[in-house]
Amino acid sequence: MRRRRLHLLLAPLASLAIMTAPAAAAPPGPPDVYRPVRGPAAPAEYRYAQKALPGRPMPRHAHEDAAAQARRLPVAPGRWKALGPTNIGGRVVSLALDPRRADTVYAAAASGGVWRSTDAGRTFHPAWPDGSTQAMGAVAVGPDGTLYAGTGEPNPGGGSITYEGTGLYRSTDGGAHWRPAGLRDSGAISAITVDPAHPRRLYVAAAGSLYNGGGDRGVYRSDDRGNTWRRILAGANEFTGATEVFVRGEELYAVMWDHRRTPRTRAYGGAGSGVFRSADGGRTWQRLGGGLPAPDPDVGRIGLAVAGDRLYAIVNRTNGSFEGFYTSTDGGDSWSRTPADPKLAESQSTFGWWFGKIWTDPADARHLHVAGVPLATSKDAGATWTYDDTGIHVDQHAMAWDPHRPGRVYLGNDGGVYRSDARGDGGWVKSRHQPYTQLYSAAITPQDTSRLSGGAQDNGSLRSWGGERFNEYLGGDGEENLIDPTDADRVIACYQYGNCFRSQDGGDTLTYFADRTTYQRRNWFTPVVLDPRNPEVVYYGAEVLNRSTDGGTTWRPISPDLSGGPGPDPLYPNYGTITSVAPAGDGRTVYAGTDDGRVHVTRDLGATWTELARDRPWVTRVVVDEDDPDRVHTTHSGYRAGSRLAHVYGSTDGGRRWRDLTGNLPAAPVNDLVVGRGKVLYAATDQGVFVSATGGGLWLRLGRGMPAVPVDDIEYDPGHHRLVAATFGRGFYELAVP
């Protein structure tokens, strides 16, 4: 989530014309780019709006059902090869240490499964089945060495949709084999606590589905390692879930949170949000007051830490802003609000629902760390704070203290896993091998098969050259990346909302060009496309289509607003935009698709435009045959249940008539499409890559070796007979094709 350090990044546009982009540089941009984004207009809305059908809620179990459809399809020959990155990392939401094996660490990646390190976090290797859901929420290890994993990401938003899981799983051999352990309808599991005095006794905080009420949500207890469960704390309503559960003898503490997402509403708080305590093992509970905020619709996500009788709570408001930090020295009977610290409030930015975690030093209950954009640290029980400036990645989510080595602590954030041997007070060292990067895009070149770049969630635009492989050469949430097929040093890279740069030296120096385009609205992922015959011609889609004939130096609009307009809701200002552009090889024909389901074509470089379709789901891609401008395909997003809307359309007469090519594809978003030799179609979906040798209708899963992870982009290199896929959670993959 790169809506971060916003207050630090405002800069005059004049200073940004040319810059040298060091690795992991904070993204520059014009002053209006990094204004704080508040409420329902936040970037997380992009991925939700894309994945849900317009005006409809996300269907219950949509991702799980589509995955089952994908598994039933036959598999076409081939084996995918992982290309990395291995040194970048990605969002880690939970960490656990093995109490019986020194230097053994488990990490749960948000959409990349469970990983194991046996060398104190230096390298991580898979400890989760490739064929199972990769969406993770929590990981824990019992005193007997039993490993537990809770699926489904509990932190909503972040420029990406959060995928729901399929319950709790158990492993007795360090992740080599797993068995289901119940709570299948939990949506997302936020915390797993094993009773240290009773290894077979588990407590689970089930956050529940973000999109649908009910299900297995609240606090659950099992006395037989997950074979049977009973709910011991239910929420105030069908959208109240649990995010934390702590055990202190017979005393339990839990955090409850109201949160839901609909097509028109994001409510990340409510009267059901609060801190609860049980003195009898969960038979009865009381909501803690004594100075904590009273039940109110404005109470948002709460983070809690329990260190003996000393408790800490960070409270955020429903809109994501900071409300206050509270301490208790009597087990939660009474609470005091600590002195206001503006930097602590800033650390939560406008999306405190992304964090909600506090961790205490096992050796010193007054020493604590708080999750936020930076890591906040106090050594005096919250009276004063410092903020880590040692270069660790932002957006903190997980921490675990090593029981074997006093002072050693592990941290998980949007950049992966770090280790400190200084009690977390600096000295952080990043893992060297952690291949679970979330990618939005890929770019390749036929000039050099080792050259690969792409946009990554909260890890910027990555490239495989110019330094350590890989390295970040433009910050932000990496979006569109391009490499000129005739000159591999000419590249384009963008971060969110169409803030794009061009480079003549492979990205070492970057020139900002988006300010020279015409726009009122730009999508979170703004399409930028090179002409297939002349890469000096570049297209840039806002609500109008822009065209450059000098490699992006100068621009002019060549269309009117091709969308249905921004819509009546002022909270959604970045919709009603072009999402895909497809120039044909004749130099005159250009197709464009929009986020409100419209498809247009011009056959005279923008002098006139014809609408070919409307009222379709979000257009993720328009693909035109380079040799035949009348042969065109469109792909569409949106999970759907009981809907007959197509995911893939095809036309051989320039869009006058369309044919539904969806066939037996899973009922999941189709994110990209390429046409291979012999008109073979390759489709990238939220359930992997599929191939049709019949031009659509009959599809096979393509190849083995790729985990069950969403694929946002695929690139085709016919000269080298290869496909490259950008996965959202497991990095880049490559497959040999005819």
Coil, strand, or helix at residue 342?
helix
CATH class label, 443-736: mainly beta
As a whole-number percent, the residues of the chain with pLDDT over 90 amount to: 87
Q: For residue 49, what pLDDT is reported?
A: 84
CATH class label, 128-287: mainly beta
Q: Which residues of 613-627 are buried (b: 16+ CB within 10 A; e: fewer)?
A: beebbbbbbbbbbee
Q: For residue range 319-363, what is the model confidence (pLDDT) as tens digits?
A: 999 999 999 999 999 999 999 999 999 999 999 999 999 999 999
Q: For residue range 678-713, what is the model confidence (pLDDT) as tens digits?
A: 999 999 999 999 999 999 999 999 999 999 999 999
Integer Cα distance of 630 and 658 in angstroms: 11
Q: For residue range 518-556, what is the model confidence (pLDDT) as tens digits?
A: 999 999 999 999 999 999 999 999 999 999 999 999 999
Integer Cα distance of 691 and 675 in angstroms: 10
Q: For residue 540, what pLDDT is reported?
A: 98
Residue, of 389 and 311, whose pLDDT is higher = 311
Section 562-587 average pLDDT: 87
Section 599-626 average pLDDT: 97
Residue type, 208: G
Nearest CA to 416 among 11, 14, 67, 88?
A: 88
Q: For residue 7, what pLDDT is reported?
A: 29
CB atoms closer than 10 angstroms to residue 466? 17
Q: For residue 4, what pLDDT is reported?
A: 38
Q: What does pLDDT average to over the chain?
A: 92
Q: For residue 34, what pLDDT is reported?
A: 25
Coil, strand, or helix at residue 608?
coil
Query: Taking the model in full, what pTM does it have?
Result: 0.94
Integer Cα distance of 192 and 207 in angstroms: 11
Task: Give the C-alpha distances (Å, rounded to integers) separating 620 from 561, 594, 656.
Answer: 18, 8, 20
What letter would DSSP give residue 31? T
Q: For residue 135, what pLDDT is reported?
A: 97
427 CB burial (10 A radius; 0-12, 13-18, 19+): middle
Which residues contact residue 628 at a Cβ distance below 8 angstroms, ignoring those fewer than 6 apart? Answer: none
As a whole-number percent, the residues of the chain with pLDDT over 70 amount to: 93
Q: Are 273 and 300 in contact (CB under 8 A)?
A: yes
Q: For residue range 73-118, what is the model confidence (pLDDT) as tens digits?
A: 999 999 999 999 999 999 999 999 999 999 999 999 999 999 999 9
Q: For residue 568, what pLDDT is reported?
A: 63
Q: For residue 408, what pLDDT is reported?
A: 98
Section 270-286 average pLDDT: 97
Per-residue DSSP letters for 105-121?
Answer: EEEEETTTEEEEESSTT
Section 390-411 average pLDDT: 96
Q: Are 627 and 677 in contact (CB under 8 A)?
A: no
> In what helix (H) or strand (E) does residue 634 lie, and over which residues does it extend?
strand 628-636
Q: For residue 57, what pLDDT is reported?
A: 84
Q: Where are the domains of the chain?
A: 128-287, 443-736
Say whether pLDDT at 159 is over 60: no
Say whether pLDDT at 46 is over 90: no
Say whether pLDDT at 229 is over 60: yes
Q: For residue range 206-222, what is the model confidence (pLDDT) as tens digits?
A: 999 999 999 999 999 99
Q: Are 439 and 713 in contact (CB under 8 A)?
A: yes
682, two tokens: 């390759």
